[in-house]
Amino acid sequence: MAERESLLPTRPSVQRLGRDRLLSPVKDFRIDALGAGAGPGGVRALAAALGLAMPSSIFSDVPQAQPVVVFKLTADFREDPDPRKVNLGVGAYRTDEGQPWVLPVVRKVELQLAKNDSLNHEYLPILGLPEFRTNASHIALGEDSPAIKEKRMGSVQALGGTGALRIGAEFLRRWYNGTNNASTPVYVSAPTWENHNGVFGAAGFVDIRTYRYWDAAKRGLDLKGLLQDMENAPEFSIFVLHACAHNPTGTDPTPEQWEKIVSVMKRRFLFPFFDSAYQGFSSGDLDKDAWAVRYFVNEGFELFCAQSFSKNFGLYNERVGNLIVVGKDADNVVRVLSQMEKIVRVLWSNPPAQGARIVATTLSNPELFTEWKENVKTMADRILLMRTELRSRLEALGTPGTWNHITEQIGMFSFTGLTTKQVEYLVNEKHIYLLPSGRINMCGLTTKNLDYVATSIHEAVTKVQ
């Protein structure tokens, strides 16, 4: 503990700093003699009594942080009065009317829960709602998983996928590859969901690297680069892997490519930390989308898997996530979970119940489960339709370049290959909002705005290089 604390930069007490600054305009006065007291409040009273300008705030040295790009984009979109505007930036599902969708099965379960008088608002256990943890883990690992049969898996309810990643990262920094080994390299794909860097950095890791993933020229996976980077990574490095529907490229390894990845990771003792935020969104089929995670478990890896139910249940603001831990045996998992309890206790103490109850109720009831799978398929199918429609429009317009990647990519996002300048043109001239990387959320497309978006992309590609 002492060692960990010593890593923190030493800084003067904020209160003392504030008081020094407050004292500066009146530094020749003996404050106590004037009876104003020595604390900041007393100084403020004194300054006011003497008619001096209010001293500066104790926060005056706090720098303004940059806004989070994707949230800023949505704020800009909201403020844009142009009726043609389209938001392709947001990371959430939208209906063909451009509206958020409360899944019908979720609404049904919410009503059931509201009427259930046996429920209350007592604290949940630190590790979360047991029936949520079990059911959630089972849809990732599969009912016949050897890790479940051999009782060598456990899980922790978390605040969304982000929370699951955060506690997983915190645990690894504290206990993996030595105690408090903040210098273990953590590899994230290039590119990746931008928060991966932030989350592992916040957990204390200081050596966050990228592994090659996206081949811009061929608009596909750079398998050779990826495997080389794994070969060259120090043993026991941590690799963050997208379980399916890679964000932002929409490009996943095939089963044959995963086999090659597994072979290097095993040989080099690399730790797989899966991020599963889109189960069901790749293929519309939950089992197919969990293939990679299950394959690693079958191959005998010890691993973490951060699950998010934000997208596939549409429960974004309920913050429903689950961190799955697969170990070599039950005893290891029990000890890991005991440490997870310590981590959760100081982060959020215990998790919220509503979203976890919705997921647990749905997954544990065969009829609701079937209905949920249909709801997921509705979302996945709409995305597939928008992919086909956009590609066919761009091809019909004769837009320079190839557009097959739009339908070959999977999940919510497409990495269009548009340049930063072309993106700027779309945002500034066409009121079409997308990320500077050229990533678009297919759900932002609707049957009503497809023509406008396609002709605008055509214009951007032909006019702006």
Q: Which is nearer to ligand PLP, 18 or 280 (CB)?
A: 280
Long-range contacts of 393-402 (CB under 8 A, 24+ apart): 393/450, 393/451, 393/454, 393/455, 394/454, 394/457, 394/458, 397/454, 397/455, 397/458, 399/454, 399/457, 399/458, 399/461, 399/462, 400/461, 400/462, 401/461, 402/219
Question: What SS3 class is residue 190?
Answer: strand
Least distance between ligand PLP and beta carbon 162 (Å): 3
Count CA atoms within 13 Å of residue 354 on its CB side: 10
Least distance between ligand PLP and beta carbon 37 (Å): 46
Site string for ligand PLP, 134-163 (x = CB under 6 A): --------------------------xxx-
Least distance between ligand PLP and beta carbon 284 (Å): 18
Among 101, 171, 193, 433, which residue interacts with ligand PLP (rule: CB under 6 A)? 193
For residue 458, give the amino acid letter. Answer: H
Least distance between ligand PLP and beta carbon 294 (Å): 19
Among 88, 127, 167, 277, which residue interacts with ligand PLP (rule: CB under 6 A)? 277
Q: Which residue has the tokens 């050596």?
A: 207
- Burial class of residue 37 (count of CB atoms within 10 Å of its CB; 0-12, 13-18, 19+): middle
Q: Which is nearer to ligand PLP, 58 or 70 (CB)?
A: 70
* Catalytic residue of the set 193, 214, 372, 403: 193
Task: Name the residue among 68, 172, 109 with its Cα closest to residue 320.
Answer: 109
Query: Does 253 engage in binding with ligand PLP (CB under 6 A)?
Result: no
- Note if 258 is an active site residue: no
Q: What secondary structure letter does DSSP report for 414?
A: E
Q: Which is nearer to ligand PLP, 319 or 387 (CB)?
A: 319
- Note if 275 is an active site residue: yes
Query: Does 321 engage in binding with ligand PLP (CB under 6 A)?
Result: yes
Total H helices, total E strands in the chain: 19, 13
* Catalytic residue of the set 222, 229, 275, 289: 275
Task: Name the residue among 199, 196, 281 with its Cα closest to residue 240.
Answer: 196
Among 87, 237, 308, 409, which residue interacts with ligand PLP (rule: CB under 6 A)? 308
Residue with the CB atom nearest ligand PLP in the bound state? 160
Task: Name the residue among 238, 232, 247, 249 with its Cα closest to residue 187.
Answer: 238
What residues act catalytically? Answer: 193, 275, 311
Residues that bind ligand PLP (CB under 6 A): 91, 160-162, 193, 242, 247, 275, 277, 308, 310, 321
